[in-house]
Amino acid sequence: MKKSLLLALLVLLAPACRLAVAQKVQVQAVTEATPYTFLRNGKVAGPATEIVEMSLERAGLSDWRISLYPWARALDLARNEPNVLIFLIARTPQRESQFKWVGEFMKMEYHLYRLKDRREVTVGRLEDARNFSVGVTRDDLRHQYLQGKGFTKIVVSAHNIDNFRKLLAGQIQLIPLPENDLLDLCAETRTDCARIERVLTLDELSASLYMAYGLKTSDELVERTRVGFLKVKADGTVGRLMRLRP
């Protein structure tokens, strides 16, 4: 009789125990500095950051921290450490099996830009761009894409702002960016965007930006976060915030 009562009690308490364990999990959310994720008064802020915070809250998680890193470091953490949530990561066929995908923030379209007065940098198709130096962020989608297309004149930096300054200084000839990122880089460097000209849209590179965990994270935590994200997306918050200009 006592054993039966004990067994029944354990069955009743099991969901609460699992919830308590899940709530004790510490999530480390990581990304790079972008127009949607940036430091404000020493704290990571921005529209995408707000979405991550709300998703974790609605997942019933209370212990997390959000950090900005160079993109290569953020990728390394997500791939090799459990409970690391990387966000604003492009979902590509090459990455599909490397992560557990949580939810989509937005679709992103990339373009190649040059300085307007660099008329010798003539690009009518992707093959033409191989003749010129291109600045990319280490290990991000653009870096991997151009390498895969046989580009050899790739100049790698830790941050987009470094590449943009190299373009302005004439140290590189092309830079692949979404239009929103270009506008923000112009504002940050006090550059007249009329000096920059789009020469080619990288149709194959267009991709959706997601939040995702690495393979070492439990399926339970992934699903809890996915449910939290879907609650945020269902009421239109994700779309509204990602349309905001910082």
Q: Domain spans of the chain? A: 25-107+207-242, 109-206
Query: Does this chain's domain 25-107+207-242 share its CATH topology with 109-206?
Result: yes
Please tell me the pTM assigned to this model: 0.74
Could you report the per-residue pLDDT of 157-204, keeping only the tens digit for each? 999 899 999 999 999 999 999 988 898 899 999 999 999 999 999 988
DSSP structure string for 27-91? EEEEE--BTTBEEETTEEESHHHHHHHHHHHHTT---EEEEE--HHHHHHHHHHSTTEEEEEEE-
Query: What span, in angstroms and rounded, lies between the C-alpha atoms of 58 and 205?
Result: 32
CA atoms within 13 A on the CB side of 17: 6
Query: What span, in angstroms and rounded, lies between the C-alpha atoms of 22 and 221?
Result: 7
Mean of all residue pLDDT scores within the chain: 90
Query: Which has the higher per-residue pLDDT, 58 or 93?
Result: 58
* pLDDT for the residue 11: 47
Q: Which CATH class is domain 109-206?
A: alpha beta
Could you report the per-residue pLDDT of 112-155, keeping only the tens digit for each? 999 999 999 999 999 999 999 999 998 888 999 999 999 999 99
Could you report the per-residue pLDDT of 9-44, keeping only the tens digit for each? 444 554 544 444 445 789 999 999 988 999 999 999
Pick the CATH number of 25-107+207-242 from 3.20.20.80, 3.40.190.10, 1.10.340.70, 1.10.1060.10: 3.40.190.10
| 80 closest CA partner among 101, 98, 97 | 98
